[in-house]
Amino acid sequence: MNPIDPRVHQALDGEIPRDTLPPELRRQAERLEAVAALLAETPAIESVAARVMATVARPAPTRGRRLVRWFVTPHAIVLRMRPLWSVALAAGILFLAFFPVRETGPRLGQEEGVAQFVARFPDARSVAVVGSFNDWRPGSIPLEDVDHDGIWRASIVLPAGTHEYMFVVDGERWVADPLAGRYIEDDFGRENSLLIVRPTKR
């Protein structure tokens, strides 16, 4: 293998300007770049997006899923009912049709938004978020891991604006949020995560 002059490597790595190369070396650099440009053309390959999304949407059947399957599979169901009850049932259905269930969830003020906290702590017994919004009181905003997959979640109404926070794992371990994307010195030798809550319109 013929070694390339080190200056070609330096130019290709952006360490020296291209035009400082003598013409012969510049041709080598340009040749390699032309090759890269050809290879960078997007090949005509079909997207695998649908295939991937179909696979990830197919979890192992849970109890709920088995129940759904039971409902969608044909079964012979015999109902014996007095006419009076069938009238009551019809009235109930009509009531539900005219007075639909109201949208659930909290009423948000104009200057409030929703903060979503998510963190992975596979071996944790408890995870809480503490910050300037709850006077740094551990335990007052617990995250939940309903399906025991090690991913802890909480969706919290907070005043719009900037908040500093950390996670407290098992009541003692303080951890910055790896998903925060914004961090700020905490003046105690570590960093807090920084959250900017936008007002949510409903």
Partner 1 sequence: MDSRSDLSDPEVVARVLNGEQEAFGILIRRYEPGLLRYAARMLSSRDLAEDAVAEGLVRAYRHLASCRDPSRLRPWLYRIVANRCKSYLARRDAGDVSLEEAPPLADPVDNEAAVEQAEQMALVQRALATLSAEKREAFILKHVEGMSYEEMAVVTGERVPALKMRVHRAREALLQALEEHQ
Partner 2 sequence: MKALGLLLLAVLPLSAQSVRARLEGRVPASSIVAIDSLVRVAAAENLPTEPLIQKAIEGGAKHVSGDRIVRAVELNLDQYRQAQALLVRAGDAPPVTPAEVAAVVSARKRGLGAPVVERIVAAVPDERRSSALHAVADLVGHRFDPDSATALILEAVRQGMHGLRLLDVSNAAILEIQRGRTRAEALAAIRRDLPNVAAAPAPARAAVQRARRPVAATGREPSGP
**Residues within the interface to partner 1 (CB under 8 A):** 1-4, 8-9, 12-13, 28, 31-33, 35-36, 38-49, 51-53, 55-57, 116, 118, 120, 150-151, 153, 155, 178-181
Binder of residue 196, out of partner 1, partner 2, none (CB less than 5 to 8 A by kind): partner 2
Residue number, 42 or 73, with CB nearest to partner 1: 42
Q: How far is the CB of 144 from partner 2 (least distance, A)?
A: 10
d(CA 6, CA 28): 12
Q: Residue 163 — φ and ψ, nearest 5°?
A: -135, 140
Q: Is 155 in the site for partner 2 (CB under 8 A)?
A: yes
Six token digits for residue 174: 């303080």
Token code pair at residue 7: 């200056």
When asked if residue 135 is in the footprint of partner 2 (CB under 8 A), the reply is yes
**How long is the chain?**
202
CA separation for the pair 191, 167 (Å, rounded)? 12
Quote the CA–CA distance of 146 and 86 in Å, as a whole number: 39
Q: Which is nearer to partner 1, 66 or 153 (CB)?
A: 153
CA atoms within 13 A on the CB side of 183: 14
H-helix or E-strand containing 116? strand 112-120
Residues within window 161-190 making contact with partner 2, judged by CB under 8 A: 161-164, 174, 181-188
**Residue 81 interacting entry, from partner 2, partner 1, none, C-beta within 5 to 8 Å by type:** none
- 91-120 positions binding partner 2, by CB under 8 A: 103-106, 108, 113-114, 116
Contact of residue 136 among partner 2, partner 1, none (CB under 5-8 Å per partner type)? partner 2
The CB-of-55 to partner 1 minimum distance in angstroms stands at 5
Rounded to the nearest angstrom, the gap between the alpha carbon of residue 10 and the centroid of all alpha carbons in its chain is 40
Q: Residue 163: which H helix or E strand, with range?
A: strand 161-169
Comparison of 16 and 194: residue with beta carbon closer to partner 2? 194
Q: Is the Cα dihedral 174, 178, 179, 185 positive or negative?
A: positive
Three-state DSSP class for residue 44: coil
Binding site for partner 2 (CB under 8 A): 103-106, 108, 113-114, 116, 130, 132-138, 140-141, 154-164, 174, 181-188, 192, 194, 196-198, 200-202
